[in-house]
Structure 1
Amino acid sequence: MNTDPLIIAGEEVKPGTRATIQIPVARRYTAGDVALPVRVVHGRKPGPRLFVSAAVHGDEINGVEIIRRLLRQSVLKQMRGALIAVPIVNVYGFIAQTRYLPDRRDLNRCFPGSSKGSLGARLANTFLQEVVEKATHGIDLHTGSMHRSNLPQLRASLAEPGVEELARSFGAPVIIDAELRPGSLRQAVSVLGVPIIVYEAGEALRFDELAIKAGLRGVLSVMRSLDMLPASKSQRRPVEPFVAHGSTWIRAPESGILVSQLTVGARIEKGQRLGAVSDPLGTEETQVVAPTSGVLIGRTNLPLVNEGDALFHVAVFEKLDTAADEVDYFQGVHDPPT
């Protein structure tokens, strides 16, 4: 927490100023340049330096809109410390509207990367050096993968120093205590000693207003908990997050057409009929039954399924009634004050 200028890609951002920086990544084979767009807001007073990133998977665009709205918040004029906003990390995938890099690698398995490695390794290495190493805390914004919707939730390694405080201050109703995956941004950031949480909400290539509003509200809440922003004047009580005791994906028992009216956030009871998989003629139908009680935190939106496809993601809680009630409360939360 100091008042020194923040230097990114050789550009100096002094306290009390803002800057848009293009971090060079590579050149296209058409001779054009590829760069990471970064917006830095450096407060006049010292404080934490928070990076907020999105589109590590290029088709996960809710986070891009969350960051766009975040940067328009007038309360940032009162900010302490620095905000480093990177709305599009996987520029290649974002342009192509795909999850992956041009070589079909998953950028979120390329960290920490290398300056002499694959395209993904070089991009990952650049992001770590120019953004993460300048920060004291991080929030990475994601959505469900293609044709899957996620209830707003957090993935975090709660045993890592400072992570649980970040996760609880975000205000999403569900926290998944998730192990660090090799090659992921979350693992690489944790190795550097920077507390990080991952926000998951909505579906790829779709704007989900609930997911966007909740994400914006969550980032602002984290910034307040870090004393980067003044306390909120809202009279509505914050959402109480619940840590899932575990979670399970319920898979298709047969191939066919999935028929289900369930929406994310629904309470699930063990033995409940979640839907059915039918053949196109309707002559054969197999019921999909919940093996456990919990809250539906993710589901497929594609009705055409193969045997073994993941259909419903159910989080399990020790206090299911209270957790389910909190999810219902969360879904009625209003817009954040600006």
Structure 2
Amino acid sequence: MPRKDKNPPFILGEHRVEAGQRAEISLSVGSFLTHEDLVLKTIVVHGKTPGPCLLLTACIHGDEYNGAEVVRRILRTPAIKQLKGTLIAIPIVNRPGFVTRTRYMPDRRDLNRLFPGSATGPLGSRLARVLSQEILPLCDVAIDLHTGAVNRPNLPQIRITVDDAEALKLAKSFAPPVILSAPKRDGSYRGTCRDLGKPILLFESGEALRLDTPSIRFGVQGVLSVMRQMEMLSSKTKSSRAKSTPIISTKSYWERAPRGGIFTPLAPLGQVVNEGGVLGFIADPYGSAETEVICSRSGIVIGRTNDATADEGDGLFHIALTSQLDSAEDRIAQTSEALPSLNADTDDHPVPYDSIQDTVV
């Protein structure tokens, strides 16, 4: 039998990872006010045989914990032992935010607006530079894991950049309920990937500060599906879950509070809403009036606030526009009800909460 080519060593900065090895590498970023070093802790899994390189990141926003749990489970899945190519995994990009349970860097800047970064800028900018200049050029594809903000859960969805055919192909393999195609945003990690010609999938699901079942399972199964599509993993390990066809949207908007008061939502995540329909209502705390929240344009609810109160102009419902409305609700319901099943090794600590249905499973 012909001998398979051995994978050459993977080089990250001054670090060398041999074929078939896994290494934890700490890349220097800067120092805290305590004189302690801030490092970007990176896990490199280098397969025995050649293949593409996937970069998997989470917690660019420090309080978006679902992503870190997805990465942890990917690193523990037995299929990774048969990896072809290289997986670079960074479970926690924004370590200061993760430790302090906040979205931002210590100076209150949003790390996802500081890319591609600078070697002489503030700490967040230096962190962005290490990721975009030292790690990103080594990969072929990137997957970035996010959630909604605090009390703002998102329906599982993939966001890609407009006119990125390779990202769209991989997003369909990920098979979320919704794919949202949008222009790149200056200063964002997604925008930097686009500038470097790296296809990137941005997975959004659930909310900050909370783990939930759909986000974790969709994330794990989606990443593994993309790795199979990239031929990094054997297709023999495919999930038994039948993939649905995602709804594709090229535009979305926020339905905002018409006035301030106590907010009661009536439309759940994943529901198709029609122009002129009632999404909820805002009540005067003193009991004198109620104002309906009317849907401006038909679409799918992909994000929503769970806050009980709102000021005038606050975003209440994030609605994706699509030409596939006739079949959208049934397809999303089918996707959400058939949660990916993970084996016991991967789903080692099942999370009982389902933020989409707001139930314990």
The TM-score normalised by the length of structure 2 is 0.90
SS, match of residue 187 in structure 2 = coil
Q: 1:132 maps to which residue? A: 136
Q: 1:18 maps to which residue? A: 22
Say yes or no: does 1:263 pair with 2:260: no
**CA contact 2:161–2:194 (8 Å) conserved in 1:** no
Q: 1:275 maps to which residue? A: 280
The structure 1 segments of at least 4 consecutive aligned residues displaced by more than 2 Å after TM superposition are 1-4, 232-236
Say yes or no: does 1:334 pair with 2:340: yes
Q: 2:161 maps to which residue? A: 157
Stretch moving more, 81-90 or 281-290:
281-290
Per-residue displacement from partner, 1:149-185 (whole Å, max 9, x unpaired)?
A: 1000011014125211121111111111111000110
Distance 1:328 1:2, change over 3 A: farther
**CA contact 1:6–1:134 (8 Å) conserved in 2:** no
Distance 1:248 1:2, change over 3 A: farther
Q: 1:46 maps to which residue? A: 50
SS, match of residue 287 in structure 1 = strand
Identity of aligned residues (%): 45
Residue of 40, 65, 89 corresponding to 2:93: 89
Say yes or no: does 1:80 pair with 2:76: no
Q: 1:234 maps to which residue? A: 239
Say yes or no: does 1:322 pair with 2:327: yes
SS, match of residue 127 in structure 2 = helix
**CA contact 1:51–1:135 (8 Å) conserved in 2:** yes
Distance in 2 between the 1:217 and 1:314 partners? 25
Distance in 1 between the 2:174 and 2:241 partners? 15
Say yes or no: does 1:112 pair with 2:149: no
Distance in 2 between the 1:108 and 1:247 partners? 20
Q: 2:351 maps to which residue? A: none
Per-residue displacement from partner, 1:303-327 (whole Å, max 9, x unpaired)?
A: 1110000000111221212222111
SS, match of residue 7 in structure 2 = coil
Distance 1:158 1:78, change over 3 A: farther
Distance in 1 between the 2:13 and 2:32 partners? 19
**CA contact 1:109–1:182 (8 Å) conserved in 2:** yes
Gap regions ≥5 residues in structure 2: 347-361
Say yes or no: does 1:291 pair with 2:313: no
Stretch moving more, 212-221 or 254-263:
254-263
Q: 1:246 maps to which residue? A: 251
Gap regions ≥5 residues in structure 1: none
Q: Which amino acid aligns with 2:340?
A: H
**CA contact 1:55–1:87 (8 Å) conserved in 2:** yes
The TM-score normalised by the length of structure 1 is 0.96
Q: Which amino acid aligns with 2:16?
A: E
Deviation at 1:126, TM superposition (A): 0.8
Q: Which amino acid aligns with 2:15?
A: E
Distance in 1 between the 2:89 and 2:135 partners? 9
Distance in 1 between the 2:287 and 2:84 partners? 61
Distance in 2 between the 1:261 and 1:225 partners? 39
**CA contact 2:162–2:184 (8 Å) conserved in 1:** no
Aligned residues: 338
SS, match of residue 45 in structure 2 = strand
